[in-house]
Amino acid sequence: MSTTAFSTTPTTDRPWVHEMVIIHRAFRREFTILPPLVREVGDGDTRRAATLAAAVRLVLGGLHHHHTGEDVVLWPALLERAAPSTGLVETMQAQHEAVEGHIEQVEPLLQAWEASPTTARGAELADLLDRLAAALLEHLDLEEREILPLAERHVTVAEWNSLGEQGVDEMDQKQLPIIFGAILEECTSEERRAMLAKLPFPVRLVLRTLGARQYRRYVTRVRGR
């Protein structure tokens, strides 16, 4: 986990890198919740398997977009401006590749399990998700501990904001209430206000009303509560 060496409250002159800690919480939570749920699916329960397969794909899609933004914006900026940390950035890039390798292994097994769920196949899928999570958590911990302080010093506000904007542009717009709901789930009131303040007012209104109800239904459907 992060030993915070950067501001946890937004400022106008430096990027608010704590935003990434908030986003990482959602990935940590979902990759903790989903594997046990997959293991619980009984033989032939295609309805439950379809629900969880969609949830897994949603999280994997969000992770892919998150990492793509870093690959396109963050790593090049740090390689250019934080030269003594070149080896660290290269380690982060290699970790992205390792995580993507796990993601590529998930989809074929996910498809097979969704079409014909068995407890054995579900256990295999859950084990693969656990391995993906282990690789991801190692990456997130290092990123929060070493990269975010560098980003706060060497990345502009506009560049940092473009990370999130690129991900939003590439996502299925129908999924945005679920994505934002997952990100906001464990926010403090201060963090929630800061995250929502980055969005246009009509979007904030939707997320606080229809989006919030949509996310609660999603949580009930996936987690069974």
Nearest Cα to 20, choosing from 76, 63, 58?
63
Q: What's the CA gap between 100 and 38, in Å, rounded?
A: 21
pLDDT tens across 94-147, in order? 999 999 999 999 999 999 999 999 999 999 999 999 999 999 999 999 999 999
Question: What is the average per-residue pLDDT within 156-171?
Answer: 79
Question: What is the average per-residue pLDDT within 5-20?
Answer: 83
pLDDT for position 1: 44
pLDDT for position 200: 81
pLDDT tens across 16-75, in order? 999 999 999 999 999 999 999 999 999 999 999 999 999 999 999 999 889 988 999 999
pLDDT for position 165: 74
Question: What is the average per-residue pLDDT within 139-160?
Answer: 94
